Amino acid sequence: MNYPERFSNLPEYAFPRLRALLDHHQPGGDIVHMTIGEPKHDFPPWVTDVIMENAAGFQGYPPNEGSPELRAAIADWVNRRYGVSMGADTNVMALNGTREGLYNAAMALCPEQKNGQQPIILCPNPFYQVYMVASISVGAQPYFVSATAATDHLPDYTSLPEEVMNRTAVAYICSPANPQGAVASRDYWAELIQLAEKYDFRIFADECYSEIYRDTAPVGALTVAQELGADPERVTLFNSLSKRSNLAGLRSGLIAGGPETIKQVKLLRSYAGAPLPAPLQAAAAKVWADEVHVQENRALYQEKYAIADEVFAGVQGYMPPEAGFFLWLPVENGEETALKLWQETGVRVLPGAYLSQGDPGQNPGEQFIRVAMVAPKTEMKRGLITLRDCIYS
C-alpha cells in the first residue's frame, strides 16, 4: 500500500509524543495536568437544557452553513466584538470548531500557484499545528517564522525577503498567541494588512483566545482591516466557543470574512463539510448571544494571571501572558524539564519543541515548556508552586 509522500515527515502529534515521553515513568507526586488547552471552568448550565429541548433535531441532517439563528448570533457577536458589519447570510458561516475551519479554509482558498510558483503559507513558529498540515495538504510550502522575545513573541512577517513575499498566498497568525500569550497590537495588524495588500495574500486570523485577557480586549484583525479600508477579502477571522465559553466539546466555531471568501468556503463545505448537529447549533446560538458567562469566566482567568505573576515574581525570563491561558516558561531543555517535573513532582507540562519546528539549536520552542492554567484555581496554584520549586530554585 502506498501512502502520500507529503505527510511522510509529519512528526507524531504533540500529545501522543508527550505520552511516549512520560508514560513509562512513574509520577513523582499527585498528578497536576497542565498540558492540554482544554478549559475546565464551568460552561453555562442552561446549555444542557437547550440541547435537550432541541433533541428532536438529531433526526435530521443539520444545515451545512449553520442555521439562520446560529448565523445571526455569530454575525451579531462578530459585529459587537469587532465593530464591523458582517451579514449573517453573506459574511459568516458556522464551523465545527476553528481547527477544521483553519484547515478547510486553506483547502478552499489557497491557490495552486502564486506568481507562477509553488505558494508559501506563512506560519508563526511556535504555532498551532493545524497550520502546518493544512499547508502541506494543499501543496503549499509552510514557511515558519520565529516568534521569539526578539520580535515580541509574534512573527515579523514584514522582515521576509521579497522572493518569499512574492510566493506568499496565505499568512496564519494567532492573536492572542498560543503558546506565548502575546497580543497583536493595532500597529502590528496594520503593518501586516498593508503587507498583505502589497503582496496580495490572505490573512487567516486565529483569534480563538480573544476573550481571555487581563484588562483590555485584544484588537481584532477585522477591525483594523476595516479602519484601513483594506480589501474585504483580505482578512478571514476564526473564533470559537471552546475557550470563550468552556465548550471545547460543543465544537462551535465561526469563520467571518469577505463575501467571496465565505462563498468559496461554503461551496467546498457543501461537498465535504461536517456540520454541527442541529441541537448543538441551537445551543451555540444562545451561547454566542450571552456575554455574562464570558465576563465571569474572564474574571477567573484574571485571578489565575495574578497567581502566576506572584508565583513567578523574580524568576528570570518569566513573561506575564497578556492574554490566553498559557505560560511559556524558559528552561534549558523543554523535554528534559517536562520529564524531570513529571518524575519528581507529578506536574505534567508540554515541551515547547512539540509546538515548533526547526533543527536542534534552531528550534525556537526547545528551551521552553508550555503550562496550561486550566485546572481549578487551588490545584493550578499548587501545580505552579511545585513547578517553580522544582525547576527554578
Q: Which stretch binds ligand PLP (CB under 6 A): 50-58, 69-77, 165-173, 240-248?
A: 240-248
Task: Report which residue type is found at 179.
Answer: P
Nearer to ligand PLP, 181 or 388 (CB): 181
Q: How far is the CB of 240 from ligand PLP (least distance, A)?
A: 3
How far, in Å, CA of 119 to CA of 117, rounded? 6
Q: How far is the CB of 130 from ligand PLP (least distance, A)?
A: 7
HEC letters along 85-106: CCCCCCCEEEECCHHHHHHHHH
254 is a site residue for ligand PLP (CB under 6 A) = no
Nearer to ligand PLP, 251 or 293 (CB): 251
How far, in Å, CA of 189 to CA of 222, rounded? 9
Q: How far is the CB of 241 from ligand PLP (least distance, A)?
A: 8
Number of chain positions touching ligand PLP (CB under 6 A): 13
User: Which residue's C-alpha cell is 502546518?
Assistant: 132
348 is a site residue for ligand PLP (CB under 6 A) = no
How far, in Å, CA of 323 to CA of 177, rounded? 8
The correct pick among 79, 175, 242, 386 for binding ligand PLP (CB under 6 A) is 242
- Residues 23 to 42 in contact with ligand PLP, rule: CB under 6 A: 37
Nearer to ligand PLP, 19 or 25 (CB): 19
Nearer to ligand PLP, 199 or 209 (CB): 209
Nearer to ligand PLP, 98 or 223 (CB): 98
Task: Name 371's Cβ contacts closer than 8 Å, sequence gap at least 6.
Answer: 34, 326, 327, 328, 329, 349, 350, 383, 384, 387
253 is a site residue for ligand PLP (CB under 6 A) = yes
- Are 252 and 360 contacting, i.e. CB atoms less than 8 angstroms apart? no
- Are 165 and 195 contacting, i.e. CB atoms less than 8 angstroms apart? yes
Closest CA to 166 of 227, 211, 213, 116: 116
- Are 17 and 370 contacting, i.e. CB atoms less than 8 angstroms apart? no
Q: Which stretch binds ligand PLP (CB under 6 A): 96-104, 214-222, 279-287, 372-380?
A: 96-104
Spell out, one character per residue from 186 to 215, where the chain touches ligand PLP: x when CB under 6 A holds, - when not.
Answer: --------------------x-x-------
CA dist 71 to 77, 88, 97, 257, 302, Å? 10, 5, 14, 13, 30
Residues that bind ligand PLP (CB under 6 A): 37, 97-99, 128, 174, 178, 206, 208, 240, 242, 248, 253
